């Protein structure tokens, strides 16, 4: 049996999305910038996809800029905002648990002379992994031009208090960007309720194709482009439109919106069962991150004294695909920056696995995972220099 539990890394393209895309890889090959009939057909498809993506996040179609994915949307938001800011010194605020698409972009901003404050998250208890909005207020300076805080964390699944940070940003007159790549399609998103000026999403996290995403840009928010060329995306992101990708994200957004309530109820029930059974069957296993403020599909669990990489490989041999953290850092020996920021020791961070469920996840897959994971952890632990954890050892309470 093969069980895929790594939907935060990527998802399969939904059959209806594939069906919607195929004609645009075949007979409907027109350039959306052309005036003739094939071009108009492509333009109509792009316009309709823009409406679907806007509807998923409560935006206007004119506020959607298609990009090559979440990374580009994040880069456009950060570089594009800092470039238009007129303050003589510039400062940006972000958090310690952001995806590298934000953190590495901030490192580049620093190299370009921009000051960046990285706000910590709470390291224990019911808010583990979540920032205290007061920390954002404390980090503000007269020269602050941008705040960027993610919505759902890709490793822990915890949801940051975006609605509480928005008024702090607005009061200070600072623009507010949110990386919502891991929450789109998992929880309801409304840019007006969240109060953000910019918001990034990526299709391949919600059953759309890879290489297509979008940046929401609130009406009236100026943004310097990163690319120069034609006038596509109202000059904000020139280049011939990726029509099949755009059609794909549009259809995926439509499905996500229609299925959200149903998906999240089913998926969270599976996730909770998997989590409860693993905690009950595996001594000293504990959940990382706040358990109440989370997306429905993610659980991150530490299995002290069992190396994450060894677990990952053994589970893969048993047909189970999961992750030790962000996909891009798999294979690296460095523990996850998110888990360290959330207060885990380096050893515990190295002994943690992320299980992320998706629309195709079935009860039979969860049963299989529950039957296999405990014995794999036990075997890896028995190979650890400190030997297996015995029944008499104190158990660490689950958080
Ligand atoms: N932001 C977050 C929170 C992510 O999880 C990811 C992907 O893992 C990205 C950004 C990057 O998105 P993309 O893979 O579309 O470039």
CA of 397 to the centre of ligand 1 (A): 32
**Which residues are CB-contacts of 211 (< 8 A; sequence separation ≥ 6)?**
68, 69, 204, 242, 245
Atom of ligand 1 nearest to the CA of 326: 8
**Residue 230's pLDDT is what?**
86
Residue where the block lists tokens 């195929």: 22
User: pLDDT category, 331, cuts 50, 70, 90?
Assistant: low
pLDDT of 150 over the 90 cut: yes
Residue 222's nearest CA partner among 236, 201, 232, 239 is: 236
Residue nearest to atom 14 of ligand 1 (CA): 70
**pLDDT beyond 90 at 349:** yes
Instruction: Report residue 391's pLDDT band, with 50, 70 and 90 as the boundaries.
Output: very low
- 327 vs 285, residue with greater confidence: 285
Q: Is 106 a catalytic residue?
A: no
Cβ–ligand 1 contact at 179 (below 6 Å): yes
As a whole-number percent, the residues of the chain with pLDDT over 90 amount to 92
For residue range 78-130, list pLDDT tens digits in order: 999 999 999 999 999 999 999 999 999 999 999 999 999 999 999 999 999 99
Answer whether 206's CB lies under 8 Å from 70's CB. no
Ligand 1 atom closest to residue 101's alpha carbon, by position in its atom list? 10
Q: Does 300 have pLDDT greater than 50?
A: yes
pLDDT at 387 over 70: no
pLDDT in tens, 188-241: 999 999 999 999 999 999 999 999 999 999 999 999 999 999 888 988 999 999
Ligand 1 probe mutation, 67, 104, 152, 182, most atoms within 8 A of CB: 182
Strand-pairing partners, residue 147, are 93, 176
Q: Whose CA is nearest to atom 9 of ligand 1?
A: 70
Residue 22: pLDDT band by 50, 70, 90 thresholds?
very high
Residue 334, pLDDT score: 86
Average pLDDT on 348-356 reads 96
Distances 92 to 109, 122, 136, 155, 222 between C-alpha atoms, Å: 9, 20, 11, 23, 17
- Burial of residue 178 (CB within 10 Å: 0-12, 13-18, 19+) is buried
301-324: burial string, b at 16+ Cβ within 10 Å, e else: bbbbbbbbebbbebbeebebebbb
Instruction: With CA atoms as reference, report the closest residue to 354 among 284, 274, 283.
Output: 274
213 lines ligand 1 (CB under 6 A): yes
Residue 393 has pLDDT above 60, yes or no: no
Token couple for 137: 């207020």
C-alpha 202 to ligand 1 mean position (Å): 7
Tell me 329's DSSP state. Answer: G
Which atom of ligand 1 is least distant from the CA of 10?
8
As a whole number of angstroms, the distance between CA 130 and CA 122 comes to 6
pLDDT surpassing 90 at residue 394: no
Q: What is residue 398's predicted lDDT score, i.e. its pLDDT?
A: 31
């Amino acid at each position: 049996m093969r069980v895929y539990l790594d939907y935060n890394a990527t998802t399969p393209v939904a059959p209806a999305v594939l069906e919607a895309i195929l004609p645009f890889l075949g007979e409907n090959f027109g350039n959306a910038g052309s005036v003739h009939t094939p071009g108009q057909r492509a333009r109509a498809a792009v316009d309709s996809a823009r409406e679907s993506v806007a509807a998923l996040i409560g935006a206007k179609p004119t506020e959607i800029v298609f990009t090559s994915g979440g990374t580009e949307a994040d880069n456009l938001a950060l570089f594009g905002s800092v470039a238009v800011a007129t303050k003589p010194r510039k400062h940006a605020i972000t958090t310690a648990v952001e995806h590298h698409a934000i953190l590495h972009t901030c490192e580049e901003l620093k190299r370009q002379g921009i000051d960046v404050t990285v706000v910590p998250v709470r390291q224990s208890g019911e808010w583990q992994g979540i920032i205290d909005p007061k920390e954002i207020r404390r980090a503000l300076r007269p020269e602050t031009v941008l705040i960027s805080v993610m919505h759902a964390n890709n490793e822990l699944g915890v949801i940051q208090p975006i609605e509480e940070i928005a008024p702090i940003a607005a009061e200070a007159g600072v623009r507010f960007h949110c990386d919502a790549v891991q929450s789109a399609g998992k929880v309801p998103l409304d840019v007006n309720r969240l109060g953000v000026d910019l918001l990034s999403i990526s299709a391949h996290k919600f059953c759309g194709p890879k290489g297509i995403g979008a940046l929401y840009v609130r009406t009236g928010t100026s943004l310097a482009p990163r690319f120069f060329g034609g006038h596509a995306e109202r000059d904000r992101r020139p280049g011939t439109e990726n029509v099949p990708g755009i059609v794909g994200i549009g259809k995926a957004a439509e499905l996500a919106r229609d299925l959200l309530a149903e998906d999240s109820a089913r998926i969270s029930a599976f996730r909770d069962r998997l989590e409860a059974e693993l905690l009950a069957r595996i001594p000293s296993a504990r959940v990382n991150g706040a358990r109440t403020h989370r997306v429905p599909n993610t659980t991150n669990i530490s299995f002290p004294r069992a190396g994450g990489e060894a677990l990952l490989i053994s589970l893969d041999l048993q047909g189970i695909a999961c992750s030790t953290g962000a996909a891009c850092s798999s294979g690296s020996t460095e523990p996850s920056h998110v888990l360290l920021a959330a207060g885990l020791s380096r050893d515990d961070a190295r002994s943690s696995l992320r299980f992320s469920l998706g629309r195709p996840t079935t009860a039979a897959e969860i049963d299989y995972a529950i039957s296999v994971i405990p014995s794999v952890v036990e075997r890896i632990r028995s190979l650890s220099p400190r030997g297996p954890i015995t029944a008499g050892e104190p158990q660490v309470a689950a958080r």
